[in-house]
Amino acid sequence: MTSFRFYPHERLKGKRLIKRLFEEGRSKGMYPLRFVWVHTPERMGSAPVRVAFGVSRRNFKLAVQRNKIKRRMREAWRLHKHELYEKLNAMEGQMALMIIYTGNEEKGFAEIEKSVKRAIRKLPELWLANS
């Protein structure tokens, strides 16, 4: 049975791992989002992917706006992550993933969801090609 919850062990936390993500990670832009990922050889927790979300303060001055966009990104991820998990569960290690909103104006849920779905289809091939 597929769970649509976004569990705490699926969240990307820890300064060292996030620093490594931006120093060594690969990146792919799918407007209005940018996906940055890195392969970690050991698994921390049972999830094949640990994910974090970010929105630039430069483009969205109000925290209310940034939080609304992050909520939309988390919801799109929560609804479609199982497709990526099915492909990555058999693989060794874990993927650390950061989803960054790069658009200048606030987009609706449908457009954010479309970008997340497109990334979920492409990420396994990109991960295999670069790891």
Is a pLDDT exceeding 60 seen at residue 131?
Answer: no
Is a pLDDT exceeding 80 seen at residue 90?
Answer: no
Calculate what percentage of the chain has a pLDDT beyond 70: 96
Helices (H), the chain: 15-24, 63-88, 109-130
Residue-level pLDDT at 1? 56
Residue-level pLDDT at 102? 96
Among 10-14, 46-50, 51-55, the least confident range: 46-50
Question: Residue 39 — pLDDT band, cuts 50, 70, 90?
Answer: confident
DSSP 11: B
* CA–CA distance, 120 with 93 (Å, rounded to integer): 18
> What are the phi and psi torsion angles at 40 (to 5°)?
-115, 130
Give, in words, the CATH class of 13-130. alpha beta
Torsion of the alpha carbons at 79, 6, 90 and 43, rounded to the nearest 10 = 150
Give the three-state DSSP class for 110: helix
Name residues whose C-beta falls within 8 Å of residue 51's C-beta, 6 or more positions apart in sequence.
Answer: 10, 11, 12, 77, 81, 97, 98, 99
- Once rounded to an integer, what is the mean pLDDT over residues 72-79? 97
- Cβ–Cβ under 8 Å, residues 91 and 48: yes
The pTM (predicted TM-score) of the whole model is 0.92
* CA–CA distance, 127 with 106 (Å, rounded to integer): 29
